[in-house]
């Protein structure tokens, strides 16, 4: 029976049974399971011996199917490379078995995905399928899986147990299900927890949330933000331990939570105790297990049998199948009547062999009714420090919980926790908003205390509510890692430390556009924080709360923050006009002083508000952190959240460049305080003033080309005269110079504050501060004028490119035809009564090509036809095409020219022949090209052929005749037909010589002539 991997061996054994007789009365059973016994409880090495044992016990122990033999074949449904269940392999094995072995029943698969596919096949074939695996909720659908019998645990029964448990403890509001999910293999923990989620949600109408988790950071995020007092955890034991550790470190009141660990296969009861953890960071693991009550669900005991639990379920399933099959055969049914056999497995009760205490009760949904135990950790002297103790068990048949008379759950508060304590997870209750409604006060002093308490309570609620929090899933992007770039959107992004800074290296300047996304339909700017995890301390929560409270016209609005590792980011208002640095670096934008003063005033107003707010100071003020919105209002960004942000400064070129705005007293720190100082902000404002005044970049020093590192070193030295940027009274007012020098004074005490700067700017720019409306209109007019200049410039560039494209088109098609195509008209084929066609080729070209390299041949033809193209521009002709050494020209189309076409072609032919006599071949300078020319006049039809690479082609007998004239001509001579001669004779100055009658292929004899030249003694009028 060992034919696990080779289907052919098993097939041979099955066929040989039929060939040697007795096959018709035999029963064939196919076992389909994976091989990996370390990973799957229903692996073949575990299960197959139990099935063989059940087969051996049928006659002797159970007295079933006497006189009948059963052929048991086994196949692997495992991917040998991945070492896991393979749905496609299971499908192939099932179909092959059905076609070539014709089994009477299937045992397995155990994994959910393979079982779903094979189960549908079995229902279609009406063959019974028995398995102790496949715990998923979906297999309860009787109409889809009509012949599946599950003798193992199912998530449906687990859900029934959770429903009874919630009813007992009066948990009717909310719960959370946390399951471990790798997004691969069979996702066992998801399917095990599925029944609890669906039962609580659909049958009890409880608000249930399902949360997958993989990484430790995701678990941390989940625990920190948990808003459910009742939690079910399904996953490896290490995942459960991580959650318990986080509850101990992050949750201040763990006694108000009930954690249920779903351990269907009782792995945590074997060889290890959960609190025996090797994690050295876990100071006191025993304490948290004393507090948290843990739920162990399992369906077996190692005391009764040494047999594996799932293997025992397969044993019971085989016996059950034999009972149902025997009853079916006794009633005259067929041994492969899966519908009848499956129905006989329902509503049965018998003692299962895998454990003596369990009854086997298969109801209408053909699932086994199980008993689940509740274990808790209780400190006892005989098993220091903690012991597993059974406090209750759930009978799946009666759907009742039987509580122990001796042991009970020792709740830390004496009673089970509430699943929805008032004013903790939800503030929908009006009493939560009214503070202490039952409190009555009699004197004014008590009322004041009550008011302060309410304010404090409100603050605590706001901190706990975390209204600033944004889930990463709520941010929508056009595509991953795509930066938002569109017309008028020049917002830049600093590589480190700033949401909107331009990235400038030692080798030059270039921009990285700010990463943007959509939050609730609005475009927002997203700045990632270089942190693996954010500790939500009280200080951080206060900063986030105050950031959300900031509402000022000259500060970018803080929308929220995402703390979902690894996507930790700050979300702010998006300003589409870009940063101040962008505007100053863009030479195409003309900035008059009215506009500049307006920008300066906006910075002063924003900083003055910031310095007088809870935030206190900026700490990273620079031109790239001043952004302009769609109304040309400047706003300051990248402020606040000093504890939230990470200090990512280093010695690379950009980090040094970012320090050009840093005050000298802060440069002494390797990593200056992220919150900065108010006087340091004033110094940064002085550097920005110089940028705006001179538009030469930050810290411009005339006559010196210093790197950021050299500038910072000179500023940090603090030697007199103090090293500062250049001021130029020719470019700006003297008052502005005084303000700059005051702002970047070496002594911080000598620098003015923004309140005084605001007054000083009002005096300096009286005109700009008189009317906000006039200022706005002036800004818009300035922008409109600048836009007109840009439009004019772009229009000229467009027209130039259009002209180039049209010239190229005219080189490909006749001018009149090209104009028709440009107008979108269809070029109709046109007949011409009389045109003259020129053909020529090179005599001996084939032998010359054989003696030359391909490059030499191409060079020769290019030189020759470039020369020809220059000559034909002097005549009213149209070059049709060149094919190899053949050259074809026509006159008289597409624009008709009467009878001049013959004269134009004749004159052109003489000119080309004269030019060939002096033409030099580069690689064979001593050889002369021998051109052979043929001319014929007659009617043709012309039109554009094709859509891709369209060509203007000629059709008609005239074309063929012209080609024959050329091929029957002689080298360095012009062969002319009698039709062409008749037209040329009308002009009277062409010298023609009779050649005689020449035999033309397909034409017979034709009288032809040689064109010798033009007569010199004839004057043309």
Per-residue pLDDT tens for 413-426?
667 777 776 666 65
Lowest-confidence region among 326-340, 652-666, 903-917, 927-941 = 652-666
Q: Percentage of the chain with pLDDT > 90? A: 20
Give the residue-averaged pLDDT of 776-785.
76
Tell me how crowded residue 583 is: count the other CB atoms within 10 A of its CB.
22
pLDDT at 757: 92
- Using the 8-state DSSP alphabet, how is residue 426 labeled? -
Confidence class for position 151, pLDDT limits 50, 70, 90: confident
Task: Please report how the helices 900-917 and 978-985 are oriented relative to each other, as an axis angle in degrees rounded to 10.
Answer: 110
pLDDT at 363: 41
Q: Which two tokens stand for residue 961?
A: 């005749």
Q: CB-based contacts of 505: which residues, under 8 Å, 6+ apart?
A: 653, 654, 657
485 or 177, which is more confident: 177
**Is the link from the previous residue into 395 a cis peptide, with omega within 30 of 0?**
no
pLDDT at 92: 93
Give the residue-averaged pLDDT of 140-145.
83
297 or 62, which is more confident: 62
Confidence class for position 119, pLDDT limits 50, 70, 90: very high
pLDDT at 170: 82
Average pLDDT along the chain: 77
Confidence class for position 210, pLDDT limits 50, 70, 90: low
Q: What is the DSSP string of 339-407?
A: HHHHHHTTTEEEE-SS-TT-EEEE-TT-BB--EEEEEEEE--GGGSS-EEEEEEEEETTTTEEEE-SS-
Give the residue-averaged pLDDT of 266-290.
51
- Using the 8-state DSSP alphabet, how is residue 121 labeled? H
Q: CB-based contacts of 82: which residues, under 8 Å, 6+ apart?
A: none
pLDDT at 14: 38
Confidence class for position 606, pLDDT limits 50, 70, 90: very high
Is the pLDDT at 491 greater than 60? The verdict is: no
The three-state (H, E, C) secondary structure of 774-786, written as one string: HHHHHHHHHHHHH
820 or 641, which is more confident: 641
pLDDT at 482: 45
Is the pLDDT at 280 greater than 90? The verdict is: no
Is the pLDDT at 765 greater than 80? The verdict is: no
Nearest C-alpha neighbor of 326 from the set 92, 64, 114: 64
Strand, helix or coil at 409? coil
pLDDT at 2: 41
Is the pLDDT at 214 greater than 50? The verdict is: yes
361 or 727, which is more confident: 727
pLDDT at 368: 60
pLDDT at 771: 44
- Using the 8-state DSSP alphabet, how is residue 437 labeled? T
Q: Which two tokens stand for residue 25?
A: 């009365």
pLDDT at 358: 35
Whole-angstrom distance, CA of residue 624 vs CA of residue 621: 8
Confidence class for position 537, pLDDT limits 50, 70, 90: confident
pLDDT at 323: 92
Lowest-confidence region among 218-227, 436-445, 515-524, 694-703 = 436-445
Q: Which two tokens stand for residue 396?
A: 């799946």
CA angle 706, 710, 716 (to 5 degrees): 135
pLDDT at 318: 93
Nearest C-alpha neighbor of 628 from the set 548, 514, 472: 514
Element at 856 (helix H, strand E): helix 854-872
- Using the 8-state DSSP alphabet, how is residue 59 labeled? I
Confidence class for position 432, pLDDT limits 50, 70, 90: low
pLDDT at 73: 94
* Sign, CA torsion 799/804/805/809: positive
pLDDT at 223: 61
Indicate the pTM of the whole model: 0.41
pLDDT at 1017: 61
Is the pLDDT at 835 greater than 90? The verdict is: yes
Strand, helix or coil at 423? coil
Is the pLDDT at 735 greater than 50? The verdict is: yes
- Using the 8-state DSSP alphabet, how is residue 975 labeled? E
* CA dihedral angle for residue 93, residue 96, residue 101, residue 104, rounded to 10 degrees: 60
pLDDT at 649: 44
Confidence class for position 303, pLDDT limits 50, 70, 90: very low
Confidence class for position 305, pLDDT limits 50, 70, 90: very low
pLDDT at 95: 94
CA angle 699, 702, 704 (to 5 degrees): 85
pLDDT at 364: 40
Is the pLDDT at 429 greater than 60? The verdict is: no
Is the pLDDT at 366 greater than 80? The verdict is: no
- Contact criterion met (CB below 8 Å) for 135 and 330: no
Is the pLDDT at 248 greater than 90? The verdict is: no
Most confident of 185-189, 444-448, 492-496, 799-803: 799-803
Is the pLDDT at 269 greater than 90? The verdict is: no
The 10 Å CB-count burial string (b at 16+, else e) for 882-908 is beebebbbbbbbbeeeeebbbbbbbbb
Element at 708 (helix H, strand E): helix 708-717
């Amino acid at each position: 029976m060992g034919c696990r991997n080779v289907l052919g061996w098993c097939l041979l054994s099955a066929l040989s049974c039929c060939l040697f007789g007795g096959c018709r009365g035999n029963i064939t059973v196919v076992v389909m399971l994976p091989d990996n016994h370390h990973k799957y409880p229903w692996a073949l090495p575990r299960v197959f011996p139990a099935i063989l044992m059940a087969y051996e016990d049928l006659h002797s122990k159970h007295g079933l199917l006497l006189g009948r033999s059963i052929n048991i074949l086994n196949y692997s449904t495992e991917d040998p490379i991945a070492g896991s269940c393979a749905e496609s392999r299971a499908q192939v094995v099932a179909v092959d078995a059905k076609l070539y072995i014709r089994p009477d029943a299937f045992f397995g698969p155990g994994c959910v995905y393979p079982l779903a596919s094979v189960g549908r096949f079995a229902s279609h074939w009406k063959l019974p399928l028995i398995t102790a695996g496949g715990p998923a909720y979906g297999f309860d659908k009787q109409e889809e899986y009509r012949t599946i019998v599950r003798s193992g645990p199912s998530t449906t029964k687990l859900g029934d147990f959770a429903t009874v448990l919630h009813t007992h403890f009066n948990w009717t509001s909310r719960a959370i299900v946390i399951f471990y999910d790798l997004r691969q293999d069979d996702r066992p923990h998801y399917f095990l927890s599925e029944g609890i989620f669906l039962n609580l949600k659909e049958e009890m109408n409880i608000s249930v949330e399902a949360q997958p988790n993989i990484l430790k950071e995701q678990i941390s995020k989940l625990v920190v933000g948990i808003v459910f007092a009742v939690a079910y955890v399904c996953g490896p034991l290490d995942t459960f331990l991580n959650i318990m550790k986080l509850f101990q470190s992050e949750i201040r009141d763990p006694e108000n939570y009930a954690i249920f660990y779903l351990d269907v296969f009782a792995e945590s009861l074997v060889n290890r105790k959960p609190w025996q953890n090797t994690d050295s960071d876990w100071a006191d693991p025993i304490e948290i297990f004393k507090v948290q009550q843990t739920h162990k669900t399992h369906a077996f005991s190692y005391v009764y049998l040494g047999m594996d639990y799932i293997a025992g379920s397969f044993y019971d399933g085989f016996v059950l199948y034999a009972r149902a099959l025997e009853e079916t055969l006794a009633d005259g049914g067929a041994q492969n009547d899966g519908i009848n056999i499956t129905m006989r497995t329902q509503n049965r009760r018998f003692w299962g062999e895998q454990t003596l205490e369990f009854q086997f009760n298969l109801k209408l949904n053909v699932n086994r009714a199980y008993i689940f135990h509740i274990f808790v950790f209780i400190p006892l002297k005989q098993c220091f420090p903690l012991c597993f103790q059974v406090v209750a068990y759930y009978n799946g048949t009666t759907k009742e919980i039987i509580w122990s008379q001796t042991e009970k759950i020792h709740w830390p508060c004496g009673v089970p926790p509430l699943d929805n304590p008032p004013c903790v997870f939800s503030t929908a209750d009006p009493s939560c908003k009214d503070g202490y409604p039952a409190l009555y006060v009699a004197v004014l002093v008590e009322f004041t205390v009550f008011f302060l308490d309410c304010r404090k309570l409100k603050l605590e609620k706001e901190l706990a509510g975390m209204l600033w929090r944004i889930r990463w899933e709520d941010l929508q992007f056009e595509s991953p890692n795509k930066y938002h770039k569109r017309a008028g959107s020049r917002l830049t992004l600093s590589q480190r430390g700033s949401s909107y800074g331009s990235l400038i290296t030692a080798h030059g300047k270039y921009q990285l556009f700010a990463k943007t996304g959509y939050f609730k339909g609005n475009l927002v700017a997203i700045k990632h924080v270089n942190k693996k995890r954010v500790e939500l301390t009280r200080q951080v929560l206060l900063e986030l709360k105050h950031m959300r409270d900031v509402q000022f016209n000259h500060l970018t609005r803080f929308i929220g923050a995402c703390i979902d590792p690894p996507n930790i980011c700050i979300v702010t208002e998006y300003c589409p006009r870009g940063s101040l640095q962008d505007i100053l670096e863009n030479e195409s934008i003309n900035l008059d002083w009215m506009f500049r003063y307006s920008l300066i005033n906006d910075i002063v107003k924003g900083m003055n508000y910031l310095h007088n707010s809870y935030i206190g100071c900026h700490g990273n003020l620079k031109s790239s952190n001043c952004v302009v919105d769609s109304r040309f209002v400047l706003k300051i960004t990248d402020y606040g959240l000093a504890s939230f942000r990470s200090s990512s400064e280093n010695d690379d070129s950009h980090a040094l460049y970012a320090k050009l705005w840093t005050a000298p007293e802060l440069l002494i720190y390797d990593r200056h305080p992220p919150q900065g100082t108010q006087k340091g902000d004033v110094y940064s404002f002085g550097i920005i003033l110089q940028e705006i005044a001179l538009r030469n970049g930050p810290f411009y020093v005339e006559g010196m080309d210093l790197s950021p590192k050299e500038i910072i070193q000179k500023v940090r030295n603090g030697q007199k005269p103090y090293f500062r940027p250049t001021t130029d009274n020719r470019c700006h007012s003297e008052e502005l110079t005084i303000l700059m020098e005051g702002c970047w004074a070496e002594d911080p005490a000598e620098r003015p504050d923004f309140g005084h700067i605001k007054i000083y700017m009002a005096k300096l720019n009286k005109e700009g501060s008189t009317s906000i409306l006039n200022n706005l209109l002036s800004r818009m007019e300035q922008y409109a004028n600048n836009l007109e200049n840009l439009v004019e410039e772009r229009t000229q560039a467009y027209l130039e490119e259009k002209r180039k494209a049209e010239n190229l088109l005219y080189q490909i098609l006749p001018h009149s035809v090209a104009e028709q195509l440009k107008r979108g008209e269809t070029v109709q084929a046109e007949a011409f009564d009389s045109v003259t066609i020129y053909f020529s080729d090179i005599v001996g070209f084939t032998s010359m090509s054989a003696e030359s390299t391909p490059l030499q041949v191409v060079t020769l033809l290019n030189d020759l036809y470039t020369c020809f193209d220059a000559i034909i521009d002097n005549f009213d002709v149209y070059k049709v095409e060149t094919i190899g050494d053949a050259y074809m020209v026509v006159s008289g189309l597409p624009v008709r020219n009467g009878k001049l076409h013959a004269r134009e072609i004749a004159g052109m032919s003489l000119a080309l022949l004269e030019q060939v006599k002096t033409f030099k071949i580069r690689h064979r300078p001593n050889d002369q090209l021998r051109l052979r020319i043929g001319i014929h006049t007659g009617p043709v039809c012309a039109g554009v052929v094709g859509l891709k690479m369209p060509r203007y082609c000629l059709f008609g007998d005239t074309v063929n005749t012209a080609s024959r004239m050329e091929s029957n001509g002689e080298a360095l001579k012009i062969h002319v037909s009698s039709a062409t001669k008749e037209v040329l004779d009308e002009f009277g100055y062409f010298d023609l010589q009779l050649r005689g009658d020449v035999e033309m292929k397909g034409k017979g004899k034709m009288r032809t002539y040689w064109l010798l030249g033009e007569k010199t003694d004839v004057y043309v009028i």
